[in-house]
Structures are given as C-alpha cells and as structure tokens.
Amino acid sequence: MKTSVVGYPRIGENRELKFASEKFFKGQIDEAELDSVSKAIRVHNWLKQLTAGISFISSNDFSYYDNVLDTAVLFNIIPDRYKKLGLSDKETYFALARGYQGENGDVKALAMKKWFNTNYHYLVPEIDDDTRVELVGNKPFDEYLEAKTIGIETRVVITGPFTLLNLIRYTGSKTREDFKDSFIRVYSSFIEKLNTMGVKWVQFDEPYIVKDIDETDKKLFVEIYTKLLSNKNAVKVLLQTYFGDVRDVYKELITLDFDGVGLDFVEGRKTLELVVNEGFPKDKLLFAGLVNGKNIWRNDYVKTIGLIKTIKGSGVDQDNIVINTSCSLLHVPNSLDGEKKLSEDYKKHFAFAAEKLVELSELSTLTANPEYVNDSRYINNQNLLTNRKNILDEAVKKRVEEIKDEDYTRLPVFEEREKVQKAKLNLPAFPTTTIGSFPQTADVKRNRTLFRKGEISKKEYVDFNKKKIAECISLQEEIGLDVLVHGEYERNDMVEYFGEHLSGYVFTENAWVQSYGTRCVKPPIIWGDVSRKDPITVLWSKYAKSCTNKPVKGMLTGPVTILNWSFPREDISIKESTLQIALAIRDEVLDLEANGIDIIQIDEAALREKLPLRKSDWYSEYLDWAIPAFRLVHSGVKPETQIHTHMCYSEFTDIIPAIDAMDADVITFEASRSDLQILDSLKEHNFKTEVGPGVYDIHSPRIPSVEELVAALEKMREKIDDRKLWVNPDCGLKTRGETETKASLINLVAAAKKLNRVNNPQPV
C-alpha cells in the first residue's frame, strides 16, 4: 500500500526557523540567511520522508508563518495599508503576520484565530470590495522545483478555495459569493501553472467541510470544484479533509472529479460508516487518515489493520487505499531524537512526526503481507500496547467512580452566596483586581532557571519568590487595588507548572509544537491516572496573604484547560482524564480555603478549544461533561468563599448559558478587542455570574488613559448591573513591562473610583 503525509512540521528539529526568524525581525540576519535556514529545513523534511519510503510527500507545507496567510499572499489578498508601506515581499508578509512599526509606517497585524479545534493559530486574511484577486506569487512553484532538484517529486499542497472563502474577513459590502468567480479563476490559473510544470499531484486542504455544511455551502462547494476540475488536465487532484468527518458533503465529494479523497478516520466519528454505507468509487484513491497527526501515542496496528480490512471489505480495492496521516503532522513535535533525558520506558510508547513516518511505512509493509501476525514489527507493537505499565492508580479510579451527582453542585445557590460574600468581603462598588500574573522580569525567570539547574537551593529559590511576592503586594496596595494577587512568579507556564505537581504527567525537553508564527509550546503528556502529589500554590498564596490585610485571590488553572493544553491519553476518555484532574485541583481549592484564602480564581483560558466543530455535538460531546468538571473543582467550598474564573477569549457569545452554568461567582474575560459585543449576549441571557470584562488590552504596551477607561466602563454599565461589574485588565500581565503595568493599573483604579465617587460598598 502507498503512504502519504498531509504536511510535516516546519519549525525545525531544534526550532531553527523560530530562532532565525526572530533574528531576522531584529535585523541581525538578512533575508538570504533566513532563506537558507528555511531551505535546510525543507530539504531535511523531504529527505526524511523519502528515506522512510513515503509515497506521497508534500511541498508548500512549509511556511514562514502560516499557510493560510501564504495562500492569501499568493493570490494578492493583501490590504492596501500593508502594500502602502512599500516594503520587500518578505517584509510585507511579516507585516501582515506581526504588524509593522518603523520608518515606513505603523500598521497592526491581521487578526489571528485558532485553527479549527487545535492550538495552532492562522492569520485571518482580509478582503475589501476593491481587492483584485490574482495569482501573483511563486512560493508553491518554487518549493516544488526545489524538491525536484534533489530528485523528489512532491505533491503541492494549498489551502482550498472553499475553506479560504469561509475563513476570510470581508471588510466591504461584498460577500464570499461575490468572490467565488475570481477564486475559481485564480485557482484555475494555479492548476494550469502546475500543469505547465509537469506537477503530478496537487492537494487542496478543505478542513472547513468537516463543520456543519448547509445547502448554500454545499452548492458553493460543488460549483467551485465542478468548474475547477473541468480544466484540471493532467495534474491529479487530492481533496484533503481533516479534524472530523464529512457527513454533509460525502455524496458530492465522491461524485466530483477528484482523483483522490483524503478522509480522517481518527477524529471523524462517521468516516468509516460513510465509506462502508455509501461506498467509495473505484476510480479514486482513498487517502485514509489512519495515523494520528494530533497526538503522540504509538499507532495501534491491530486496530488500524482492522480498519483497513473493513474498508477493503466494503469494496475499496487494496491498490486504491493510501495510508495517510489524519492531518498535518504540524500538530505534533518533530522527533524523539530530541529527547535525551526521557527514559526509554516512556519513549517507546510515543511517536512524534519522524516516528509516525516509520509507522506509515511499517503499516504499508504489514498490510502487504498475509502472514503479518508473525512479523516482529506487528508483534512488538502489540506487546508494547498491552504491556504499558505504571499508568493506573486504583485509588484515583475509585475516587472518580465515587463522584456523586451532588458533587457537581455547589450549595447554596448563587443568589444566596452572593449576599454572604458581599457581606463578608465588604468590597467597594466596582471592585478592582488583576488576572493573576505580574511582569515576568529577567530576574524572575533567572531564579527559576537557576533552581531548575540545581545552581541555587530550594530555600534560595523560595526566598527570592517571597521577596517578589512581598514587593508585588505592596505595589498593589500602593496602586489601590481591592483584590490582590501574589503575581505567579513561580510559573513558567500555567499548565506545565500544575502538571509538575501532579502524578501521572510526563514532561519532554524538546517536544515543541508551533502555536503561531515563531511561538511554540511544549505540551506535557498525560501518561497515567492523575492525582495531586502535594499542595501546589498554597505556600505562595499563604505568604501573599500574610503580607496584607486586603483580600488575596488564590490562582489556579482549571481542569479543562490543563487537559486541553496537554497531550491526552487515548486509553481512557478525555472526560475521565479531566475528572481526575478536576479532583486534584479540587484538593488544592480546599487547601487554599483551609489556609484562609477566601477568593480563589480557577482559570479556564482554553475552555473553548476542544469545543466540537459541529454545533450539534457541542453539548453531548463536550460541554455536558466539561462544565460539570469545572463545578466539581469548586463545589466543596463554603458559601462565603468567592470563586472566580477567567477566560482568555470572549468567543463564548454562543455558549453563554454553559458559561453561566460553570456556577462561578465572578468571571473575568478579554473584551477590549471585541467591541464589547459580548455584553449584549450577557444581558440577553440574564447572566447571573458577576463579570469583569477586561477594560484594556494587555497584549499591547500602550497605557490606557483614565478617560478611555471610564468610557469603556460606562458602556459596560449600560448592559451590566452595577451590582455585578468588576474592573480589571483583560488577561495576565506577565508579558508586560513593569513601568507600563504600574501606570495602566493606576489609571484603572482611578477610573473605577470615578464611577464610585462616594466609595459605596459593592451593592447587594
């Protein structure tokens, strides 16, 4: 059987692209040097796939920043404000991606959004009524030729027209329908060019069709591809989907003139059913996404070979099945070679991108051998999966089983708690607070690094943090904030820090995954049953509390976010893992409370990340357990303990009732960049939780004036009852400088006081 890779990680095995790009941004290297680093990565990736015997190797899966942006730029979808800067092509590209501030002008970056249900972010292209969509770039062609010169015939990959039309932001009065014809025209030119170059295969990525597709969408999709395919000539076209199944357009997909269709058998719950029930045409290749491109566990060969047998049994010819990755390998780390410290006992269970290539080729060999059950590769794989040790903890399992319905409900009800809390905390109206972290200055990072390397003692490490906490508390007192925080100086990352204090977690050294542009994350791996080893934050919060008479807010990361930013287990459901984490964090909540912390914030920054792509699955597949998991964390506290939560994006307008059902007492969220739209939905749904919509954007060093903060708050008061409004920045301050932080917070407090001249207590 042939094998295929949808796309390969492009940051380099040691994040070479990140470091080279950052140097380029600082003017330390020139374009030529950046190009040579990127070329080395591409060549390395192609040769790696070639050596592994992959039949379909992709090109143009490389990107300096993001593939959606690449496609927009290829087709001249570049707003005038960037063109006017008069920069070189590459500099213009980076201006779109990161903004530009310099001699040639001052423009912000394009908006960035999460790529479907992943933690990768794409840039949202903008199109206005005057945009002339033209094929102006050469990147896909150049990269194809680059591979060709080293003897590799690649399949050229590009974001498909339907997905692009749907992801673009239309800033004028025209809609996607108005741009349909010009898209057909430029994608046709693109195909024509591939033909003149003798390219054999092209891959159109169309993940958008795994979402809910209605009749209008379907019509558009069919029209675009009918027209495009009627002129495709010699080049063969693969329509590639991922992150789910294509139930709404399967019938159309298999009747259109594609030469190959790529389906996701890992995340697509109905994919197999579609192929078996609806059939798959004899004249097309089925690119079967069987090797998980999103998670790091070894493939289960019994399961995969079983699936292939079922596909064959449904009438698809063995020669027409191509074993594929379920999506681009962009979402997993590069190679286990980078893990020097991790024990082989763990490593043998993992497959990063490089190891997935081996799996593809082993699966191809095994499926060609009728005696595969005797093949050592098959036997080893089975032994590995059946003999996984040290992952189970009976006590944890039992604890999850014993969760009772009432454990998901905090009593008394919100309205009663609210009164008790107001009486106890005695805060002024429009209470002011922050989201938790304070600037992570060089000395703070250094303290952690020295401790990690064993160069300072635990006592020295703790003492330094205590000194920072004391300073942070007195700064907040000086500024006049009402609810204080300890500053989070102990944390490198809000998930990794918690993972390090939980048993059941494994950490990697070098397993970086691109999150956006040059930003990479290193998600920890949930290896086994999770429980709390020892108190995680109590020391810090307790110390902070001892420094002041004002209320101090304890600061935790919530179970759904911890899960969503880790590589999850596959032998139990993510629901079960989340409940285990929830119980661990619950212990921490109760410990904080027992130590006199009467306000506790449980951050759920990534709550929305695993929200299913189909609306119809939102509750049954996700929210119905994710929200109760959050409630389990705080249901054990006393009525007078105030529970806060924080969400980074205000993109929850459509799940407001679910957010209210988290049953927190206060929620803070990012609102300053979204024109406060969310306030209308809060009002409309009679949102009961008290709210702190961020009054200024912490992603920028700008200091907001008192007047603009008052104006923002006055707008909020039109929609939110005075009894429920909190005043805070929109996220943590860890990436900000000290000077701008202090100035901004002084203005924030001044603005709150203007609303509250007589200093009334927070109304009941």
Give the residue numbers annotated as catalytic, written as ranges.
Answer: 699
Token look-up 């990269």 returns 143
Is residue 655 within 8 Å of residue 614, measured between CB atoms? Answer: no
Give the residue from 484, 487, 486, 488 showing the smallest Cα distance to 425.
484
- 745 is a contact residue toward ligand GLN (CB under 6 A): no
Buried b (16+ CB within 10 A) or exposed e, 164-199: bbbbbebeeeeebeebbeebbbbbbebbebbeeeeb
Q: How far is the CB of 608 from ligand GLN (least distance, A)?
A: 12
- Round to whole Å and give the CA distance between 358 and 348: 13
- 126 interface partner picked from ligand GLN, Zn ion, none, CB below 5 to 8 A per type: none
Shorter beta-carbon distance to Zn ion: residue 579 or 648: 648
Spatial CB neighbours of 125, under 8 Å, sequence gap ≥ 6: 68, 69, 71, 72, 77, 110, 164, 167, 168, 169
**Which of 552, 648, 716, 751 lies at the binding interface for ligand GLN (CB under 6 A)?**
648
Which residue, 71 or 557, is less far from Zn ion as judged by CB?
557
Residue type at position 243:
F
Draw the binding track, 643-682, toward Zn ion (x: CB under 5 A; -: no contact).
-----x----------------------------------
Contact partner at residue 437 from Zn ion, ligand GLN, none, CB < 5 to 8 Å by partner kind: ligand GLN
Asked whether position 731 contacts Zn ion by CB under 5 A, the answer is yes
SS3 of 514-571: EEECCEEECCCEEEEEEEECCCCCHHHHHHHHHCCCCCEEEEEECHHHHHHCCECCCC
Q: Restricting to residues 329-348, name those near ligand GLN by CB under 6 A.
A: none
Interaction between residue 695 and Zn ion (CB under 5 A): no
Q: Interacting stretch for ligand GLN, rule CB under 6 A, among 25-33, 131-139, 332-340, 431-439?
A: 431-439
Considering only the stretches 283-291, 309-317, 432-440, 722-730, report the one whose residues sit in contact with ligand GLN under the rule CB under 6 A: 432-440
- Please select the residue that binds ligand GLN; options are 260, 436, 499, 554, rule is CB under 6 A: 436
CB of 745 to ligand GLN, least distance (A): 13
Range in contact with ligand GLN (rule: CB under 6 A) among 11-19, 308-316, 435-443, 684-692: 435-443
- Amino acid at site 483: V
H or E stretch covering 101: strand 100-102
Residue 495 interacts with Zn ion (CB under 5 A)?
no
Q: Is the Cβ of residue 308 or residue 648 nearer to Zn ion in the bound state? A: 648
C-beta closer to Zn ion: residue 325 or 601:
601
Question: For residue 54, which of 318, 360, 294 has the smallest C-alpha distance?
Answer: 360
* Smallest distance from ligand GLN to CB 597, Å: 15
Closer of 61 and 690 to ligand GLN (Cβ): 690
| Alpha-carbon distances, residue 280 vs 9, 229, 307, 316, 322 (angstroms) | 31, 19, 15, 6, 13
Full strand arrangement of the beta sheet holding 58-59: 2-4, 321-325, 285-291, 260-264, 236-240, 201-205, 155-159, 58-59
Q: How far is the CB of 663 from ligand GLN (least distance, A)?
A: 20
Q: How far from 622 is each of 130, 194, 263, 329, 583, CA to CA, in Å? A: 42, 42, 23, 25, 18
Size of the site for ligand GLN (CB under 6 A): 13
Q: Does residue number 607 form part of the binding site for ligand GLN (CB under 6 A)? A: no
Q: Which is nearer to Zn ion, 288 or 648 (CB)?
A: 648
Tell me the window of 169-177, 203-211, 298-306, 430-438 that interacts with ligand GLN (CB under 6 A).
Answer: 430-438
Q: How far apart are CA 162 and CA 168, in angstroms?
A: 10
SS3 366: helix
- Chain positions 489 to 508 lying near ligand GLN, rule: CB under 6 A, are 494
Among the candidate windows 516-524, 679-687, 728-736, 747-755, which touches ligand GLN by CB under 6 A?
728-736
Q: Which residues on neighbouring strands pair with residue 644, listed in sequence order?
A: 601, 666
Nearer to Zn ion (CB atom), residue 246 or residue 731: 731
Nearer to ligand GLN, 352 or 565 (CB): 565
- How near is the Cβ of 457 to ligand GLN at its closest, in Å? 27
754 close to 429: Cβ distance less than 8 angstroms = no
What torsion do the CA atoms of 292, 297, 302, 305 make, to the nearest 10 degrees? 20
CA distances from 563 to 46, 265, 343, 510, 605 (A): 33, 23, 23, 20, 11
Selection from 52, 82, 708 nearest residue 365 by Cα? 52
* Nearest distance in Å: CB 417, ligand GLN: 23
Give min distance, CB of 649 to Zn ion, in A: 8
Among 248, 264, 591, 603, binds ligand GLN (CB under 6 A): 603
Q: Which residues contact 477 (CB under 8 A, 6 or more apart)?
A: 484, 548, 550
> In the bound complex, what is the minimum distance in angstroms from residue 515's beta carbon to ligand GLN?
12
Q: Which does 554 bind (CB under 5 to 8 A by kind): ligand GLN, Zn ion, none?
A: none
Q: Can residue 555 be called a binding residue for ligand GLN (CB under 6 A)?
A: yes
- Give the alpha-carbon dihedral of 118, 119, 120, 124, to 10 degrees: 90
Over the window 353 to 392, marking each residue x when it contacts Zn ion by CB under 5 A and - when it does not, the resulting string is: ----------------------------------------
Q: How far apart are CB 646 and ligand GLN at their closest, in Å?
A: 5
User: For residue 537, what are its two tokens?
Assistant: 């934050």
Nearer residue to ligand GLN within complex by CB, 488 or 598: 488
Q: Given the rule CB under 5 A, which of 74-82, 492-500, 587-595, 728-736 is the region that contacts Zn ion?
A: 728-736
Residue of 9, 289, 524, 732 interacting with ligand GLN (CB under 6 A): 732
Determine, following the binding rule CB under 6 A, whether residue 437 of this chain makes contact with ligand GLN.
Answer: yes
Site for Zn ion in 201-260 (CB under 5 A): none
Query: Which region, judged by CB under 6 A, interacts with ligand GLN, from 394-402, 582-590, 729-737, 747-755?
Result: 729-737
In the block, which residue shows the tokens 């597709």? Answer: 213
Q: Are 733 and 439 in contact (CB under 8 A)?
A: yes
Phi-psi region of 720 (alpha: psi -120 to 50; beta: other; left: phi over 0): beta
In the complex, least distance from residue 147 CB atom to ligand GLN, rounded to whole angstroms: 39
Q: Please, what is the minimum distance in Å from the beta carbon of residue 740 to ligand GLN?
A: 16
Dist CA 725 CA 588 (whole Å): 28
Beta-strand (E) ranges in 619-665? 642-647
List interacting residues with Zn ion (CB under 5 A): 648, 731
List interacting residues with ligand GLN (CB under 6 A): 435-437, 488, 494, 555, 603, 605, 646, 648, 731-732, 734
